[in-house]
Every structure is written in structure tokens, then in C-alpha cells.
Structure 1
């Protein structure tokens, strides 16, 4: 059986889920994916920046295919990806923009794991799968009140 047929069903299933259900499913997928790859890159940036968000995003801006803007120091950032690096997409298995929730969840997971004392909101502004030339996420943060 050609694996791409299975993924067509997966896309249809994603479309049938509520936003909350899709977020919950893809949050788990994103954790698995990011733990196998990019988390170590973000961890290294965090260490080099000594936990300073502005420095972290300034350093991330130097990664290939990544662009960052500090909108409000220590509070609001824009994170851009110049190309889609999701293998499900690059290998042609999935083409629905609904999968971009996985990327949003991966950024939320990474930031929340690195800065446990902060609360993050990550908003997908646009994505390549939606037809844009880049993927853009708006990241907002504040201190957790304990």
C-alpha cells in the first residue's frame, strides 16, 4: 500500500476535528518531533543567551532559514521560517495548512520548556501551506503569577 493514501485520510480526519481537538493531537505530535530534532538547537541558543529572550531571538535570527524580529523587548516577537521543513509536507504526504498547528505547538512547547517561569502565546499569522512566502508566528510572553 502506498503510504500517501493513509495521509489523505489523516488530512480528512484533521479537518473533522474541532480546533481544540486538533491542537491537543498536534501538541503531542509536535513534542515527539521537536524532541527528536530541533529542541537541542533551541536549548543551545537558550544557554548561549543565558535565558534572555531578546538575545535568544537575536541569535535565532542568525540560523539558516529563520528570521526573527523583536517587536517589544522581552515581550513580543515575530518568528519567520523561510521554508517549510516538515517532512510530512516536503515529502508530499500532507498538504493541508491545518498541519501548521503542529509547528505552532512545537514553538509553544519549546519556549514553555525553556522558560518555565513564563507563559507564552503563539499565534500563527500565516504559513507557506496557506500560500504565503514564509511562515510567521507572533510570540507574546509574560511572567507566570505563582
Structure 2
């Protein structure tokens, strides 16, 4: 059996999960993935921005393949990725848009790791796996958890 055959079953399996179950499943995958390097990149941006969200997202524009926009100061941001960086997709193993939940959970994990006092809502607006030219993720924040 080829590894790609195993991933066909993986795709079918995650399609059977309820959205809450997929979020829980992918949150663990996301944590493991970002701890392998991505988290350190964003920690560096956080330190450079001294915890200021607006500066953090302005600085993220300097990362290769990343673009961001401040939609509403101190609360709403659009984050764009010009290519899918998931190695499972890049190596041809997984192509379902359900995989984008992992990206959402990755962003949530990074943000919660850096801003422990804030709550975030992350919405995938567009994604490459859904047929878009880029991934567009909207991030909203509040201090009280009512997102």
C-alpha cells in the first residue's frame, strides 16, 4: 500500500467528523506542527511589536508569502497566505478543504500562545484548497471572550 492510499482514508474519515470534532482533532495536529518552527517566527514578530497587534500584523507583511491588512485597529485583521504551506498538501497526500481547519487551529494556537489575555475568532474566508488564488483568514480579537 502506498502512503497516498492511507491518506485517502484519512480524508474520508475527517469528512465524517462533526465540525467541533474536526476542530478538536486538528487543534492537536496544529500545535505539533507550529511548535516545529512557525511559532518561533511569530514569537519574534510579537517581541518586535512589543505585543501590539497592529504592529504585529504590519510586521507580518515582511514574511515571505504573507500579507496582512488591518481592517479595524486593535481588533480585526485579514491575513493572507499566497501559497498553501501544509506539507501534507504540498507533497500531494491531502487535498480536501477540510484540512484548512488545521491552519485555523494553528493560527488560534499561535495567537493564544502570544496573547494569553485575549480571545480570538479565526475565520477562513478563502483558501487555496477551496479553489482560491490565496488563503484569506480573518482574525477578530476581544479581551473578554465574547467573540
TM-score band (shorter)? over 0.9
Q: Does residue 82 of structure 1 match 2:82?
A: yes
CA drift at 1:37: 1.8
What is the aligned partner in structure 1 of residue 133 from structure 2? 133
Unaligned runs of 5+ in 2: none
1:22 corresponds in structure 2 to 22
3-state SS, counterpart of residue 123 of structure 1:
strand
Say whether residues 1:35 and 2:35 are aligned partners. yes
Which residue number corresponds to residue 9 of structure 1?
9
2: distance between equivalents of 1:92 and 1:118?
36
Matches within 5 A, 1:39-118: 39-118=39-118
Partner SS state of residue 130, structure 2? coil
What is the match of residue 123 of structure 1? Answer: 123
TM-score by length of 2: 0.97
Structure 2: distance between partners of 1:22 and 1:122: 15
RMSD: 0.8
How far apart are the structure 2 equivalents of 1:61 and 1:76?
16
Give 1:114 deviation, angstroms. Answer: 0.3
Provide structure 1 residue ranges, at least 5 long, that are not aligned to the other structure.
none
